[in-house]
Structure 1
Amino acid sequence: MHAEFDFDGDVVLVTGASGALGSAVCRAFADAGATVCGSDVVEPGEDTELDRGEVAFYRGDLTDEADAERVVSGVVDAHGGLDVLCNVAGTWKGGTPVDETAVDEFETVFDVNLKTMFLASKHAIPHLREGDGDGAVVSVSARASLAGGEGDGPYRASKAGVRLLTETIAEENEGDVRANAVMPSVIDTPQNREMLPDADHDAWVDPADIARTVMALASDATPPTSGAAVPVYGEA
């Protein structure tokens, strides 16, 4: 059985669009007929959907509220509305225990992982509510958010924040906007393979497979699902 998604006529905003997972989410929605807008603080790589202009790119630092509001308003003004927000922007920093972690490292992790999700959602939700109950927010949490661990406490805490904020958005917008999260473990990207050359790469999940789960949560295939955090870590 093969699921087909149809987002024709829908406007989708993807944050963190220049990264491996963000670009996969952009590609998936574009292939399903959506009007896709990508945002990132980093310019898209060469020969990608964003670089070729197949996905509209809105450069912005979504840790800054004025930039977040500008990006969301720019998408709505250009395309007449917003149906789906995918909060993919994120980073990982770790390796030291809490008592040895620099405060600027802590702040960076929380800003990129949680503050961007908060600000993009804050400014998108009023527009998503206009979709007669069809609006959706899908954010990226992490398997690591489910428990404490050694050496990456700020990352785990920030991703737990994404889960809890997802539940809050779902509760506050019941009947108007659905909000869900996905929880990857290690994603199979060139950067992760370079960082962990001796790991079992076959156990990692392809970004394209995670993107399909994001689409499912944003689609009418999952109408009763809101406030959920869905594992997408396969065998990892």
Structure 2
Amino acid sequence: MKRTILISGSAGNLGQAVTGRFLRDGYQVVALSQLGHPEQAHSLRQLFNHHPDLDVRELDALNEKSARAFVDSLSGKYPTVEAAALLVGSFAMGGVAETDEALLDRMISLNFKSAYLLAQPLFGQMKQQGGGRLVLVGARTAVEANSGRGVLAYSISKAMVVKLADLLNVEGKAHNVITSVVVPDIIDTPPNRADMPGANFDVWVKPEEIAEVIAFACSPAADRLDEPVYKIYGHQ
């Protein structure tokens, strides 16, 4: 029987790379795109040539009731969801002086709440089924203070994601539910290239490199790892 993975943020640059990797690995992929943006779902289906193992759904990842209802509904089609990669996120500049309440709330919502509102029901489901793998996305700025200067709200929101993984692992250890965190530096995407045209793109982390790490984190080869954090900083 095929293993099933849920991937949120699948329409983004990282999400597309992760979706493609798990399809190649033979998974049934439930790919989430943003509610109200049908063009995202359409583009995903086209990108992967309407792959028979790709099930694209639209969801508002910031609506608690919708997220819980969606996870609950999965059991009707997929008896078990063995893994989930929660990739929704956003970035914003701003140091202490520039970070107001609105910016802080936006970063926490897009980076932390988008992960937590899906992770919570998935975690409960995985405990009941006897195991599962969750993968969250942190950031270098969340674990190294010197890297976080000028991106305060973003760094705080990603630090919350890292701490969430710690707490999920405390409770999940007895149930074979392991939460991994990938901690990338700058990801080589078209938007990042446009924002930093003078940078050396060769040293940036490629989405495909992160996808490879996520695939490993969800594989049996990673079963013995305890509270795994994968720092992916590219070629410095």
Q: Do both share a fold (TM > 0.5)?
A: yes
1:210–1:232 contact (8 Å) kept in structure 2: yes
Report the equivalent of 1:196.
196
Partner SS, residue 163 of structure 1: helix
Whether the 8 Å contact between 1:37 and 1:75 is mirrored in structure 2 is no
The one of 94, 106, 109 equivalent to 2:107 is 109
1:229 is aligned to 2:229: yes
CA distance in 1, matches of 2:25, 2:128: 22
**Structure 1 stretches (4+) deviating beyond 4 angstroms?**
none
Q: Following TM superposition, by how much is the alpha carbon of 1:27 offset from its aligned partner in structure 2, in angstroms? A: 0.9
Matched length = 226
Corresponding position of 1:5? none
Question: How far apart are 1:71 and its partner, in Å?
Answer: 2.5
Partner residue of 1:14? 7
Q: Which has the higher helix share?
A: 2
Partner of 1:24: 17
Q: CA deviation at 1:131?
A: 4.0
- How far did residue 179 of structure 1 move? 0.8
**Structure 1 unpaired stretches of 5+:** 1-7
Give me the whole-angstrom Cα distance separating, in 2, the residues matched to 1:104 and 1:76. Answer: 37
Partner of 2:173: 174
Are the counterparts in 2 of residues 139 and 182 from structure 1 also a CA contact under 8 Å? yes
Establish whether residue 219 from structure 1 lines up as the match of residue 219 from structure 2. Answer: yes
- One-letter code aligned to 2:82: D
SS in 2 for 1:52: coil
Q: 2:140 is matched with which residue: 123, 143, 150?
A: 143
- Equivalent residue letter for 1:74: S
Q: CA deviation at 1:142?
A: 0.8
* Offset from partner CA, 1:77-129 (integer Å, 9 cap, x none): 222221101111110011x3223323222111101110111111101112222
Q: Aligned-pair RMSD on alpha carbons?
A: 1.7
Separation (CA, whole Å) in 2 of partners of 1:40 and 1:202: 29
Q: Does 1:69 align with 2:78?
A: no
Instruction: State the alpha-carbon separation in 2 of the partners of residues 129 and 27 from structure 1.
Output: 27
Amino acid at match of 1:204: W
Residue 86 (structure 1) aligns with: 85
